[in-house]
Amino acid sequence: MILTAIGKGGGGGALYPDFVGRRALFVGYGTGPTSYNSTTGDVVTLSLPSYYIDAIPGGVQSVSGTYWVQPRPSGTGVRQTWALHWFVTATGAEAGAINLSAESVQLSAFVGQF
């Protein structure tokens, strides 16, 4: 999933990232993968290539409400890879190998610059 920043700032540029101390808060949206793999999850990248993800707090429900996503890091420490794991809201079971490209989520992340 490519996480794209939401909104427009006063100068017409993207509203995010918004700096907080030495890190930035990023809020964006993205769509699910065309072929979900529950082993690797849906790897998250940012639409801003000069930033990396420090943390994605909590889980969120998809816009349709059919799924909720749980972010997971590949390890601990700085500059880890983050992936979203998709779960069926009605059952709590992780999604199988299906097309989730019609599903979208909006979430936040704490990010740093390379």
Q: Which domains does the chain have, with CATH numbers?
A: 2-113 (2.60.40)
Res 23: pLDDT: 85
CA 59, chain centre distance (Å)? 10
| pLDDT 10s digits, 32-61 | 999 999 999 999 999 888 899 999 998 999
pLDDT in tens, the chain (114 residues): 888 887 766 566 667 778 888 889 999 999 999 999 999 999 999 988 889 999 999 899 999 999 999 999 999 888 899 999 999 999 999 999 999 999 999 999 999 987
DSSP state letter for 93 = P
Q: How many CB atoms lie within 10 A of CB 5?
A: 19
Alpha carbon distances (Å) from 72 to 6, 22, 38, 81, 82 = 22, 23, 12, 9, 6
Separation between Cα atoms, residue 28 and residue 16, nearest integer Å? 8
CA 74, chain centre distance (Å)? 14
pTM equals 0.86
